[in-house]
Amino acid sequence: MPQTRFADVRRFGSIDSTNRYLIEEARAGAPEGVVAVADHQTAGRGRLGRSWEAPAGANLLLSVLLRPAIGPGERHLATTTVALAALDAIGVVEPRTATDVSIKWPNDLVESSGRKLAGVLAEADLVSAVAAGVLQPPVVVGIGVNVNWPATDADLPPELVGLAVSLRQMIGVPVDREALLAALLAALEPRAADLDSVAGRARLAEDMATHCSTMGTRVRVDLPDGSFEGTATGISPEGHLVVTTGKATRTVVAGDVVHVRPGS
């Protein structure tokens, strides 16, 4: 594999959370590009205090440390970067599934029926930024991809039946986790490079719009202070969701969103 900024890959048999680990490493001064990969997480994190489930040894669980020179308004593009790299990698390793996988804004990879194949969690570490006296915090982006678990729906806890799916279920045979990891890190290099320029960030937002199954659908956006409905009509250059409600257009910031659900 050509040398990329993601060459320092640290592997863990079991860890609480690869995101938690890399945030600590960022605070200790680790450079951009460190990767943490776990066979198992005892406290895998989702957004808003939710948890990420995966048994030992079956799925891809990894985080990467980025130090992007971007403002707070563009930070969601770090999530977009990893989601697009995962989509690229799935297309390389399992081309049979490529057309069936899309991104559900803000942070999910889903298969065509809407079941979740992967979730992305970006956490900006403001503590590091304050300590270093810099405006732009490091961002740890974690992704969990359901590679070989569940093998069938019978493996899933009841609350995930109908909501989660694996690559193995999609193609009917086990999938090589290591091949997917290598493809993801290779795909991440050009995507992460895009984060560093205005033109690159525009490309990330455009590619997100192209691969985003939320586009053109009726959505209900749940925010902490209420909900509204509209049609998802675009992705802003900062990676936010543009929703048209009647004659008005609202831009929805990922950090504010509790859920984006199909609308009525």
A 10 A CB-CB count for 72 gives 14
Residue showing the smallest CB distance to ligand BT5 in the complex: 119
- Nearer Cβ to ligand BT5 (107/214): 107
Contact residue for ligand BT5 among 9, 56, 132, 160 (CB under 6 A): 160
Residue 85 structure tokens: 């790299």
What CA–CA distance (Å, rounded) separates 208 from 181?
21
Secondary element (H or E) of residue 127: helix 126-132
A 10 A CB-CB count for 65 gives 25
Per CB under 6 A, the segment of 158-166, 206-214, 231-239, 246-254 that binds ligand BT5 is 158-166
For residue 52, the minimal CB distance to ligand BT5 (Å) is 4
Per CB under 6 A, the segment of 53-61, 130-138, 182-190, 207-215 that binds ligand BT5 is 53-61
Q: Binding residues for ligand BT5, how many (CB under 6 A)?
A: 29
Indicate if the alpha-carbon torsion angle 85, 87, 91, 93 is positive or negative. positive
Q: Tell me if 63 contacts ligand BT5 by CB under 6 A.
A: yes
* Contact (CB, 8 A) for 98 and 90: yes
Q: In the chain, how many H helices and how many E strands?
A: 7, 12
Q: Tell me if 181 contacts ligand BT5 by CB under 6 A.
A: no
Residues forming contacts to ligand BT5 in the complex (CB under 6 A) are: 17-19, 41, 44-48, 50, 52-54, 61-63, 107-108, 116, 119-121, 142-144, 146, 160, 163-164
